[in-house]
């Protein structure tokens, strides 16, 4: 056991050193405005050669550095969290493979090698979601992998269409601004939307909470869900079309509003944090659709720091209260878990965009730039409502961790006995405080010029205060007053169920009864298509091969009949 722990510790040190090297390389290439492409010829057959190509620029080096840094913290955290697990080694190897797939995706300059990392993420995420091997994990894993396969199909079709440009490398993608590649742009946006769980592919992200908490901290901060955003940052040229840009903006704004609304009706601690991730992904996608990829990348890096910290704190709390995840059973956690609650509220305030914490530097800039852009009133309204809802559900967590009363006696037996978990959380807490200011100085040496009226400038701040106040009042009312939500049952169910998206994502066609989809399914997929398709081809080939088999048997009767038939043919030919 000591040898296994030391080997994992060596790997963690390697990841940490690699992350620092990549961060330094990204900052250097950012200052020098340079990029490097490394090509390694593996095999050369006649005139064809198989070449591995990697691109090292400011975007890939910085993002990979953040991924390796957060992965090292998560794995060090897992040393305590998964210490009692029977398959600890298998878990660590899966996480290492997951990080390797993400690195392959980040450093890839062409769609072929991106697909390797893309499919690796999908396959290993399925293995991690079903890690606990129960019915809930199996259902969540199937929903996750099938939702992501839609994006994988889009990637495969994109590879065949990009071949018309002359090659798959990034150098050819400048021609994507041409309107003749509209279908290719739609496919790439669809692939990015599935990985980043935008509407209508949002159901798999909360379901993936069936995975262990360290996996959630890694998946929802810097790896799987951010792969779609990173893909669109790389393919900046696909936003030449106004229709694609407008469609992605509307979908992303609806996603962040839907996720913020659903989080205010949720009581599962991990699902609330997962829905907050979905809301932040909507913000990244929306500002990317407006054409500000640098702001989207900035929020991508900063969000990874405090979101990983938030999941780590949730893991410590779940461990300490007897594996409960219902926040209604988690009152006054600050009494038994002062350091954990401090780190958790730091991450919560950074998520809200509290001034001078990490999230403030990216979210405030994104909202100001969005309000200055040429967007319609509905998008502005969705931005404003999503910001208020973010503060509202965040203050639910603050309330239940600080001021609410515990609802069962076992809560008072908690304590912070997990030293490895505490150490990684403290390190990420430093990033949640200073990460935003540090990265803003490097990414934006020439800051954005914001010219807004006083009312627009104060709007977000006032909405944040109002959202926090409403969230606190609703929590007090839910404890001190009688339940009123049954009077508005339909609205509560629609708002709290992600607009029935999990139900629709897992709905079988047989549920449509005798409707058009039911007839298409029974008469088409199970009827004529099956008769003339696989089953018909199987029957025809089987009967034909049976005839050939009979003719090839060494039987005297067959030879005699063949000879007699040949004599008759010769007779008719010569007469």
All residues at 6 or more sequence positions from 2 whose CB lies less than 8 Å from its CB, including other chains = none
User: Which H/E stretch holds residue 53?
Assistant: strand 48-56
Nearest to 199 by CA among 123, 285, 264: 285
The pLDDT of residue 538:
81
Token match 């946006």: residue?
Answer: 189
The residue extents of the domains of the chain are 1-235, 241-303+315-483, 511-574
Cα distances (Å, whole numbers) of residue 479 to 205, 328, 388: 30, 10, 22
Helix (H, G, I), strand (E, B) or coil at 541: helix
**C-alpha to C-alpha distance for 424 and 78, rounded to whole angstroms:** 10
Cα 387 to chain centroid, rounded: 21
Q: Which helix (H) or strand (E) holds 323?
A: none
Q: What b/e readout covers 206-216, taking b as 16+ CB neighbours within 10 angstroms?
A: bbbbbbbbbbb
CB 68, CB 26: distance < 8 Å = no
C-alpha separations of 280 from 201, 211, 384, 397 in Å: 15, 21, 14, 17
**What is the SS3 assignment for 479?**
helix
For the chain (575 residues), the mean pLDDT of every run of 10, in chain order, is 53 76 78 78 75 83 87 84 80 87 86 85 88 85 87 85 69 58 81 88 86 85 85 74 78 89 85 89 89 88 90 85 78 80 89 85 87 83 87 84 62 61 86 86 77 77 78 68 68 76 68 57 71 79 77 67 77 75
Own/partner contacts of 123-129, CB < 8 Å, gap of 24 or more, are 124/94, 124/97, 124/98, 125/98, 125/208, 125/219, 125/224, 127/94, 128/94, 128/95, 128/98, 128/211, 128/212, 128/215, 128/219, 129/208, 129/210, 129/211, 129/215
The pair of structure tokens assigned to 570 is: 């010769």
Q: Return the pLDDT at 31.
A: 72
Q: How far is CA 218 from CA 132, 169, 224, 422, 565, in A?
A: 17, 29, 8, 17, 75
Q: What pLDDT does residue 382 have?
A: 87
Geometric angle at alpha carbon 47, from 41 and 48, rounded to 5°: 50
Look at residue 330 and give its three-state secondary structure.
coil
Helix axis angle for 111-129 and 182-195, nearest 10°, is 30
Bridge partners of 53? Answer: 39
The H-or-E segment that residue 360 falls in is helix 358-372
pTM of the model: 0.83
* CA angle centred on 231, ends 277 and 229, rounded to 5°: 20
Token pair, residue 480, equals: 């001190």
Provide the 3-class DSSP secondary structure of residue 416: coil
Contact 263, 393 (CB under 8 A): yes
Mapped onto helix, strand or coil, the DSSP state of residue 540 is helix
The two tokens of residue 442 are 């490097």
Report yes or no: 92 and 8 within 8 Å, Cβ to Cβ: yes
Residue 217: CB atoms within 10 A of its CB come to 31
Nearest to 56, CA basis, from 36, 33, 72: 36
Q: Which two tokens stand for residue 421?
A: 């978990």
Q: Which pair of tokens denotes residue 288?
A: 């990317």
Alpha-carbon span 375 to 378, nearest angstrom:
8
Distant-in-sequence, close-in-space partners of 372: CB < 8 Å, separation ≥ 6: 450, 451, 452
Instruction: Name the token pair of 353.
Output: 């965009």
């Amino acid at each position: 056991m000591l040898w296994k722990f030391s080997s994992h510790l060596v790997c963690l040190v390697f990841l940490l050193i690699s992350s620092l090297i990549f961060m330094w390389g990204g900052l250097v290439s950012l200052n020098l405005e340079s990029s490097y492409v490394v090509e390694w010829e593996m095999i050369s057959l006649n005139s064809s050669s198989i070449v591995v190509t990697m691109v090292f620029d400011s975007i890939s080096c910085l993002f990979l550095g953040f991924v390796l840094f957060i992965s090292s913290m998560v794995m060090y955290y897992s040393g305590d969290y998964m210490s009692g697990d029977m398959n600890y080694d298998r878990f660590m190897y899966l996480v290492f493979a997951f990080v390797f797939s993400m690195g392959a995706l980040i450093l890839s300059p062409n769609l072929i090698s991106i697909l390797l990392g893309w499919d690796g993420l999908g396959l290993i995420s399925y293995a991690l979601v079903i890690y606990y091997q129960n019915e809930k994990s199996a259902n969540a894993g199937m929903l996750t992998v099938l939702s992501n396969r839609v994006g994988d199909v889009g990637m495969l079709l994109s590879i065949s269409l990009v071949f018309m440009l002359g090659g798959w490398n990034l150098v050819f993608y400048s021609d994507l601004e041409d309107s003749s590649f509209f279908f290719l742009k739609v496919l790439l946006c669809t692939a990015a939307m599935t990985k980043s769980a935008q509407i209508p592919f949002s159901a798999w992200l909360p379901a993936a909470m069936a995975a262990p908490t360290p996996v959630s901290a890694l998946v929802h901060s810097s790896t799987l869900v951010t792969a779609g955003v990173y893909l669109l940052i790389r393919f900046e040229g696909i936003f030449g079309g106004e229709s694609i840009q407008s469609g992605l903006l509307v979908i992303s704004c609806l996603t962040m509003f839907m996720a913020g609304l659903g989080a205010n009706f949720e009581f599962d601690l991990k699902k609330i944090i997962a829905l907050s991730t979905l809301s932040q992904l909507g913000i990244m996608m929306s500002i990317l659709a407006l054409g500000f990829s640098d702001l989207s990348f900035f929020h991508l890096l900063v969000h990874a720091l405090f979101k990983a910290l938030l999941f780590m704190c949730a893991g410590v709390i779940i461990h300490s209260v007897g594996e409960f995840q219902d926040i209604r059973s988690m009152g006054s956690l600050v009494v038994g878990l002062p350091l954990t609650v401090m780190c958790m509220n730091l991450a919560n305030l950074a998520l809200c965009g509290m001034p001078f914490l990490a999230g403030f530097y990216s979210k405030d800039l994104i909202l100001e730039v969005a309000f200055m852009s040429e967007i319609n009133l509905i998008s502005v309204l969705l931005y404003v409502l999503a910001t208020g809802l973010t503060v509202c559900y965040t203050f639910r967590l603050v309330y239940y961790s600080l001021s609410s009363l515990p609802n069962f006696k076992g809560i008072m037996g908690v304590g912070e006995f997990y030293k490895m978990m505490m150490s990684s959380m403290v390190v990420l807490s430093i990033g949640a405080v200073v990460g935003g200011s540090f990265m803003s100085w490097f990414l934006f040496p020439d800051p954005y010029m914001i010219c807004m009226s006083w009312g627009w400038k104060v709007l977000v701040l006032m909405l944040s205060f109002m959202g926090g106040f409403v969230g606190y009042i609703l929590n007090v009312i839910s404890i001190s007053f009688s339940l009123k939500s049954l009077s508005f049952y339909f609205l509560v169910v629609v708002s709290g169920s992600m607009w029935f998206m999990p139900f629709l994502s897992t709905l079988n066609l047989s549920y449509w009864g005798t409707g058009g989809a039911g007839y298409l399914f029974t008469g088409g997929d199970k009827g004529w298509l099956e008769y003339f398709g696989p089953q018909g081809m199987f029957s025809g080939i089987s009967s034909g091969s049976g005839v050939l088999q009979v003719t090839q048997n060494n039987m005297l009767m067959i030879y005699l009949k063949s000879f007699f038939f040949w004599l008759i043919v010769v007779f008719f030919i010569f007469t």
